[in-house]
Structure 1
Amino acid sequence: MSTLVEKHHRREAERRSDEKTPAQIERAEAWRRRAPLLPALIFTIIVTQVPFLVTIWYSLRSENLLRPDGDRFVGLSNYADLFADSTFRQAALNSVIFTLGCVVVAMLLGIGLALLLDRKFVGQGLARTLLITPFLIMPVAGAMIWSVSMLNPTYGMVNWLIGLIGIGPVDWTSTYPVLSILIALVWQWTPFMMLLVLAGLQAQPKDVLEAAQMDGAGWGKTFVSITLPQLRRYIELGVLLGAIYVVNTFDQIYLMTAGGPGTASANLPFYIYQRAFLGFDIGQAAAMGVVVVIATIIVATFALRLIFRSFEQKD
């Protein structure tokens, strides 16, 4: 009798152990949904994180391809030399100028153009197509257009236009290298900002605008009180995406000024290229790459939090 009771208790205990709690069921369901994404996640980690770890390893060594016998572990010495390098500080400042200048000016121009294109007029489709075109042109081709056709000191269109009012020719890329690159970047990124803002304008509820007009609100009051808050998430998204891409600008600098005169117009990606492929200093270049990646991650994380916060407030 006792044996039967023991067997019954044992079966009952086994049955209870096989039963899953709601928390276990939820975790199993979550893993079931995530399982198809694991191969992509593993591939992404291999492609992105493994090279970054190798870059960190190189940044801790004094490795120069011109002096292969000098390869040794130096710890954080490359980073200390980096922040003492005045050229690096100038390149970092240029990166900030290019990024902030391009994003702010392109966004302001994009808002203005989007407000114009949000109205009905003859040839609206053609106007949109022409305004979007600069963003569709390859950066290399766009840089050549500005360097050769627009800003050339001998036969550039800009010098021809200012010559009509009596101003002498200017060698733009040599005299004003940062401004020249900034103009090319703004020209390329304004259509992107315009498209985002235009999408926001067309997504705003028309009944709210009609109610504001019936209440006697003018265009300026309606734009500041209704339209601009509606566009906030679109503007923040455009600023974030634009900053992430513009901070990595290389083509315009390489083709328009080659970082010159000297290193006056070099940004961080171009200076890394110079140290790695012209100076063959792998350790210093790797240290600069690590610093740039960490700084970009910090800025992007902060910007993403602001965007997510605005979405939560909107919801």
Structure 2
Amino acid sequence: MTTTTTRYADNRSTEEVQRQKTAERAEGWRRRAPLLPALIFVIICTQIPFLLTIWYSLRSRNLLRPEGEQFVGLSNFSDIFLDSTFRSAALNSVLITFGCVFVALLLGLGLALLLDRPFAGRGVVRTLLITPFLIMPVAGAMLWSISMFNPSYGLVNWMIGLVGIPPVDWTSQYPLFSIVVALVWQWTPFMMLLLLAGLQSQQRDVLEAASMDGASTWDTFRFVTLPHLRFYIELSVLLGVIYVVNTFDHIYLMTAGGPGTASANLPFYIYQRAFLGFDIGQSAAMGVVTVIATIIISLLALRLIFRGLNAKEQS
């Protein structure tokens, strides 16, 4: 009798556990249901085009010779890696991305430290510093190309002319430098906002304790503020790299990838091969390589960020 009762209790407890799991699954689906339309929309707009891009990257497809289309496997990928222009564009992408992110991060940190302190007109100054990030990339590129870097009447040449330096055709002689300067001007406010949020989330009693212990301003920044800003710095670098690596507007409007292909990055070179050279197969292969490289960098950066968060929670 005791054995029968025990089995009945075990069966009942198993059934209750199963019912509880079923109820939890149903509750989970009820919570996810409102998000399903957005998920389906994202899949349609991103994953299906990416799958088509992979399909085209495995075929020899040129719009000027549609009769020659055929399946070539990984031949397009081997061809683009042997292409010296592709390697140059990849190097330019790295230089532009990390140059812009590094300089914008340093300037954003300096501006965030200044805005973290109270002074008269701080709200107006903050609004003015945010303005470049609110300007459309096309308008910003035209502003720097025509108003700032124009060799005849640009503001930069006028300023250096005051000290006797002859005019410089910036976008032709220093194309990468010109693009990086324009991108830094646009992305510094973004870095500043993220780092300023990190500074304002810092507990003031910790800073006061460091001051009372005799720590200098530099020591407080180095050993207290900078470790606190690590998450915000890593997040700024991650978002900056993801967005800046896809830069197209500034290169198209300021240098058109020139002189020649000296300032072309991967997105611009893909555009040239697809819409000027009509080579859909190789341009699709370049797009797949660019997306995979961006995903790898993002995953590594996210892993570092989450590892830092877990270490901070454990401590």
TM-score with structure 2 setting the length: 0.92
Instruction: Look up the equivalent residue of 1:41 and give its one-letter code.
Output: L
284, 287, 302: which one pairs with 1:286? 284
CA distance in 2, matches of 1:262, 1:43: 39
Match of 2:49 in 1: 51
Q: Quote the residue 1:8 is aligned against.
A: none
**Which deviations, in whole Å up to 9, do the C-alpha atoms of 1:244-303 show, x marking residues without a partner?**
000000000000000000000000000000000000000011000000011111111111
CA positional deviation for 1:35:
3.2
Q: 1: distance between equivalents of 2:291 and 2:13?
A: 51
Q: Offset at 1:130?
A: 1.0
Secondary structure of 2:229's partner? helix
Deviation at 1:116, TM superposition (A): 0.9
Alpha-carbon deviations, 1:180-224, whole Å to 9, x = none? 000000000001001111111111000000111111111000000
- Between the aligned partners of 2:14 and 2:139, the Cα distance in structure 1 is 67
CA distance in 1, matches of 2:14, 2:230: 53
2:226 counterpart residue number: 228
| Cross-structure match for 1:276 | 274
Distance in 2, Cα, partners of 1:48 & 1:271: 21
Q: Secondary structure at the match of 2:278?
A: coil
Q: Which residue of 1 aligns with 2:237?
A: 239
Runs of 4 or more consecutive aligned structure 1 residues displaced over 4 Å after TM superposition = 14-20, 22-25
**Residue deviations 1:69-94, cap 9 Å, x none?**
11111111100100000000000000
The residue type equivalent to 1:92 in the other structure is A
Query: Which runs of 5 or more residues in structure 1 are unaligned?
Result: 1-11
Q: Say which of 186, 189, 192 aligns to 2:190.
A: 192
Letter in 2 for 1:172: W
> Are positions 1:81 and 2:91 aligned together?
no
Displacement of 1:235 in angstroms is: 0.7
Identity fraction in percent: 75
Report the structure number with the largest CA radius of gyration.
1
Unmatched 5+ stretches in structure 2: 1-8
3-state secondary structure, aligned to 1:69: helix
Cα drift, residue 123 of structure 1: 1.4
- 2:95 matched residue in structure 1: 97
- Partners of 1:205 and 1:145 lie apart in 2 by 40
Counterpart CA distance in 1 for 2:52 and 2:276 is: 21
Q: Deviations over 1:40-74 (max 9, x none)?
A: 22222222111111111101111111111111111
State the Cα distance separating 1:37 from its structure 2 match. Answer: 2.5
Q: Counterparts of 1:198 and 1:83 in 2: how far apart (Å)?
A: 42
1:308 aligned partner: 306
Q: Which residue, 263, 274, 280 being the options, matches 2:261?
A: 263
1:215 aligned residue (206, 213, 216): 213
Q: Secondary structure at the match of 2:67?
A: strand
Q: How many residue pairs align between the two structures?
A: 305
- CA RMSD for the aligned pairs? 1.9
CA 1:160–1:16 in structure 2 vs 1: closer, same or farther (change >3 Å)? closer
The one-letter amino acid paired with 1:35 is A
Aligned letter for 1:105? Answer: V
Compute the displacement of 1:20 (Å): 4.6
- Deviation for aligned residue 1:26: 3.8
Residue 59 of structure 2 is aligned with which of 61, 68, 79?
Answer: 61
User: 2:160 is aligned with what amino acid?
Assistant: I
Using structure 1 for the length normalisation, give the TM-score. 0.92
